[in-house]
Amino acid sequence: MARITLDHLAHSYKSDPQGPQDYALKEIDHVWDQGGAYALLGPSGCGKTTLLNIISGLVRPTRGRILFDDRDVTDLPTEARNIAQVFQFPVVYDTMTVRENLAFPLKNRRAPRERVAARVEEIAGLLDLTRVLDRKASNLTADLKQKISLGRGLVRPDVAAILFDEPLTVIDPHLKWQLRSTLKELHRNLDITMIYVTHDQTEALTFADKVVVMHDGAVVQTGTPDELFARPAHTFVGHFIGSPGMNVMPCRVEGATAFVDEQAIALDRSYRTTGSGQRIELGIRPEFVQLQPAGAGLPVSVRRIDDLGRARIARVEMAGRMLSASVPEAVSIDGDRAALVFDPRHIHIYADGHLVTGEPHSSGSAAVAASTGGRPS
């Protein structure tokens, strides 16, 4: 059982890294609390697997330290850490039965035979593998094999954390959901830290209590699924999470008013923008943009309306830019001319991709807003 601390961790696959562009993993400071269910979410090639392999000890970081509780394990080999890992492609030992597979990690650590047998039975029960215990592991389906690799991790009583590297990639869709709920249930019953790497936002958001979003070798936001949805710290998070993703448009901000293509949009916070040259953008999720009949707000032309079942989403064009908006039940649009109404409480302002926190109106302080021209995208 351990709290895992990443202390100024960075990794480069080059032997002589020069600048930040040489780092597969840029400097990261993070604490994984004991017993948490984490997801590490990001597109392929963003450094998630590198980070995972550093935690499990398969890769030694170029810089920084890893602490399990207060013990520095940076130089400890994998087998000396209390970590289990489940890989993208199920790894089972072909020549062994399921029982022997599950017993393998304990046998290697020279545990007494009766203890091994009892523990294997227990874990097999947890994972619903009891009925296949005496079958050859090589003859089983991918989801059972993946359960076996998970079981080989769980079987070790000292395991502090289990790392999952896109474990559902090769699982049939209808079994994915089942296996994910098995994982969730296991996490509730056992006090084990789980770190789940995926590029699938649904998997991440349904599995994890806390999601760590990575982009281009760096962590861009850590938060609960709700936080990621409500306050994306980076435009990337806005795009990546949510379906459809957040609308992002270049703008100019003056105090509590944003100008998109010279259309004023009221904000409920005021911003002081530091210096020019930054890329200022306005982000708002489609859920908080309402399509209304023409004249009620920003003029747009409607390209398409998709009925997603639970909601209707309109694809609209505003000055050459495609945006998504939700269509309220009562509204019906004639022709392609319509208007957008933004909910000011859910408008976020980004400078160079990063969220800028404004000051509430009520503070009354006159915001000195340097006018910055939005760079056209």
Partner 1 sequence: MTKTLNNKAWFLVLPVFAIVAFSAVLPLLTVVNYSVQDTFGNNQFFWNGVAWFQELLDPSKELGGRFFEALWRNLLFSAIILMIQVPLGIAVALAMPREGWTVALCLVLMALPLLIPWNVVGTIWQVFARGDIGLLGWAVNSLGIDYNYTGHSLDAWITIVVMDVWHWTSLVALLCYAGLKSIPDAYYQAARIDGASRWAVFRTIQLPKMRRVLLIAVLLRFMDSFMIYTEPFVLTGGGPGNATTFLSIDLVKLALGQFDLGKAAAMSLVYNLIILSVCWVFYTIMNNVDAERARVEA
For partner 1, which is the closer residue by CB, 21 or 108?
Answer: 108
Tell me the CB-side half-sphere exposure of residue 271, using CA atoms within 13 A: 28
For partner 1, which is the closer residue by CB, 48 or 348?
Answer: 48
For partner 1, which is the closer residue by CB, 108 or 363?
Answer: 108
- Give the separation between CA 313 and CA 268, rounded to whole angstroms: 25
For partner 1, which is the closer residue by CB, 48 or 234?
Answer: 48
* Angle, CA of 52, 229 and 307, to the nearest 5°: 115
Closest approach of Cβ 293 to partner 1, in Å? 57
CB 349, CB 281: distance < 8 Å: yes
Closest CA to 337 of 286, 291, 285: 291
Closest approach of Cβ 342 to partner 1, in Å? 47
Closest approach of Cβ 93 to partner 1, in Å? 5
Q: 98: part of which helix (H) or strand (E)?
A: helix 98-108
- Give the separation between CA 129 and CA 154, rounded to whole angstroms: 13
- Give the separation between CA 32 and CA 35, rounded to whole angstroms: 9
Closest approach of Cβ 14 to partner 1, in Å? 15
Closest approach of Cβ 90 to partner 1, in Å? 9
Closest approach of Cβ 84 to partner 1, in Å? 6
List the structure tokens of 241: 């999470």
For partner 1, which is the closer residue by CB, 96 or 117?
Answer: 96
- Give the separation between CA 370 and CA 236, rounded to whole angstroms: 25
For partner 1, which is the closer residue by CB, 95 or 202?
Answer: 95
Closest approach of Cβ 218 to partner 1, in Å? 25
Closest approach of Cβ 156 to partner 1, in Å? 9
For partner 1, which is the closer residue by CB, 151 or 358?
Answer: 151
- Using alpha carbons, list the distances in angstroms from residue 160 to 82, 154, 295, 313: 5, 10, 59, 44
Strand order in the sheet with 210-215: 83-86, 161-165, 193-198, 37-41, 210-215, 218-223
Q: What are phi and psi of 302, to 5 degrees?
A: -85, 130
Closest CA to 167 of 196, 139, 124, 131: 196
Closest CA to 105 of 52, 165, 185, 159: 159
List the structure tokens of 169: 């990639």
- What number of other Cβ atoms are within 10 A of residue 49's Cβ? 22
For partner 1, which is the closer residue by CB, 84 or 280?
Answer: 84
Sign of dihedral through CA atoms 92, 98, 102, 104?
negative
Residue 88 burial class via C-beta count within 10 angstroms: exposed 0-12, middle 13-18, buried 19 and up: middle
Closest approach of Cβ 77 to partner 1, in Å? 7
For partner 1, which is the closer residue by CB, 58 or 230?
Answer: 58
Binding residues for partner 1, rule: CB under 8 A, are: 53, 56, 58, 77-79, 83-85, 87-89, 91, 93-96, 104-105, 108-109, 138-139, 149, 152-153
